[in-house]
Chain A
Amino acid sequence: MNGQEQLLNNINIVDFTMVDLALFLDTHPKDRRALDYYAHYSQIKRQLCREFSKKYYPLTMAEADCEKSWSWGEAPLPWEGGCVHVEL
C-alpha cells in the first residue's frame, strides 16, 4: 500500500469507528465517554481528510481548494481507477 492508499485506508477506519460510536450514541445520547471518543475521532478524521485533500485530492466538496484553482474535479473517477481496493 502506498502513502495515498494508506492514508485513505486510515480515513476509512476512523470513519468506521465514528459510525459505530454514532450507533451507540443514538441510544445513549448522554454517555460522556462515548461523546468524548466521538469528538476525538471526529477531530482526527478532519485532520486526515485535510491532509489527504492537500496531498492528493479533496474527498468532499467542502475540502476542495478554492484559492488557486478549483480542485474538486481533480479526483480520479471510479471508472478511472478512483476506487481504492480495501484489504481486509
Chain B
Amino acid sequence: MQDFTYVEKKEERPLAMAYVKWQKFDKVYDELEKAFRIGTIFPELNKPFTGRRCV
C-alpha cells in the first residue's frame, strides 16, 4: 500500500482543502442495534449534524 501521508507548513497550506485522516481500527459499538440506528459501527464517525455544526 503506497504511503500517502503528506506534511506541509501551515502557512503554505491552501485556503481550504478537504481531508480524511487515515482511520485506525480502534473501538466499534458493541450494541449493533444502536450502531444501526446511528448509521455506523465506528464511534469516531458518529457525527450527527445539530442544525449549525457537527458534534
Binding site for B on A (CB under 8 A): 12-14, 16-17, 20-21, 24, 27-28, 31, 33-34, 37, 88
Provide the residues of chain A in CB contact with B41, threshold 8 Å: 17, 20-21
CA distance A51 to B4 in the complex (A): 45
Interface contacts beyond A13-B33, A17-B32, A20-B35: sample of 14 additional A-B pairs, CB < 8 Å, sorted by A: A13-B35, A14-B32, A16-B32, A16-B36, A17-B35, A17-B36, A17-B41, A24-B23, A24-B25, A24-B42, A28-B23, A33-B25, A88-B36, A88-B37
28 A-B pairs in the complex with CB atoms less than 8 angstroms apart: A12-B36, A13-B32, A13-B33, A13-B35, A14-B32, A16-B32, A16-B35, A16-B36, A17-B32, A17-B36, A17-B41, A20-B35, A20-B40, A20-B41, A20-B42, A21-B41, A24-B23, A24-B25, A24-B42, A27-B23, A28-B23, A28-B25, A31-B25, A33-B25, A34-B25, A37-B28, A88-B36, A88-B37
